[in-house]
Amino acid sequence: MKQKLVENGGVPASLLWLLAVIAALSVANLYYNQPLLNRISADLGVSEFTANLIPMTTQIGYALGLLFIIPLGDLYSRRKIIVVNFLLLTAATCCIAVSPGIHYILAASLVTGICSVIPQIFIPLVSQFSVPQNKARNVGLMLSGLLTGILGSRVVSGIVGEYFGWRTMYYVAAVIMFLCIFVILRALPDMPSNFKGTYAGLMKSLGTLYAARPTLRLVSVRAGLCFGSFLALWACLAFKLSGEPFHAGNNVIGMLGLCGIAGALTASVVGAYVRRMGVRFFNYLGASLMILAWVFMYFLQDCYAGYIVGIVVIDIGMQCVQISNQTCALSLDMHASNRINTIFMTTYFVGGALGTLFAGTFWHSFGWAGVTCTGICLAGISLVITLFTKH
């Protein structure tokens, strides 16, 4: 049964949890490819560098979806936008499953990225309709669902890829996306729009918001840099662990994603303490933890312990940075929540795409040392930005 949302009256707990689950299932499409890159590379007869274009293209698609689709949530029915995205996701994941060559996969991955923005419709929705004292906590819950989807996608795709082939994972994903359509139609009510005007006017307002709000620019850039550092790890981990001295299978690589459950558990805790401890504190803590994680993974790169500790620490650090900055951004203007989230998350995923690109490039030239340097530099720049900006 559909439940009514009342602005500043709170979001029903059952709907909140349902949205968190659907957020997890939809964002998973972005990350199924990461533990499978070595198998895709071998199956299609392409280089590791070429295979690494798949996650980069997916991230670019996600950034495009954030820029051009998420603002529509302030103008049109969010329910209809979500249903259309799930339909396109069903088609795109099917295309990846049957693609005969890398170019088809790249095209379908771009569409997959564009249409996987559904959680970023949920987050401003929850922020807008939450009572002020629960806003950060509820956003944290959405991000916990988001991160759980990221972690679960790597584990599941690694196991499925190892035992049933990488294409099977995308057939399964297509079925899940199709079923989500019926859940949304049944559970999510229509909501009033936040913007009166045309799509052109809506998009123009993005530039106005970006120019008028230096805080929005600040929180977006420093979170994006850290996300680039985070994705640098996952862009090259499969290549690192499938070689000497590990020779790990996709199932092992995927299972390492479970180490990031610490980040998923951290998300709701961070959300509860942002108002008390402050955004600046969590940025110092998060960026520092990410740099520390890369140091662990470099000096202990020949044993699993280094990666286990590193993944736990980098996930916690990433949640500290994202939740504090995103909560700050969404608090700037409740009635422009979708557009603000668009600016924040577009910058965030541009940073992720750059981190993936740099990591793949430096992996090809310098191996794990190049990937480590990429991760430390991106998180380090984010930390410096926080150090040299005013409170």
Q: What CATH number does the domain containing 287 carry?
A: 1.20.1250.20
Residue 2 included in any domain: no
> What is this structure's pTM?
0.73
Cβ-proximal residues to 241 (8 Å cutoff; 6+ apart), any chain: 248, 252, 253, 256, 307
Phi, psi (rounded to 5 degrees) for 192: -65, 150
For residue 156, the enclosing domain spans 13-188+209-387
Query: Can you tell me the mean pLDDT for 309-331?
Result: 88
Cα angle value 367/352/146 (rounded, 5°): 120
Span 46-84, pLDDT tens digits = 888 888 889 889 988 988 888 888 888 777 788 889 999
Is residue 110 included in any domain, yes or no? yes
Whether the pLDDT of residue 8 is over 50: the answer is no
Q: Which residues have CB under 8 Å from 100's CB, separation 6+? A: none
Number of domains, the chain = 1
Which amino acid type is present at position 147? L
Query: Is 194 a domain residue?
Result: no
- Model confidence pLDDT, tens digit, residues 113-143: 999 998 888 888 887 777 777 777 787 788 7
**Rounded Cα gap, residues 8 and 131, in angstroms:** 5
In tens, the pLDDT along 154-207 reads 888 888 988 898 999 999 999 999 999 999 988 887 766 667 778 888 888 888
Does any domain span residue 198? Answer: no
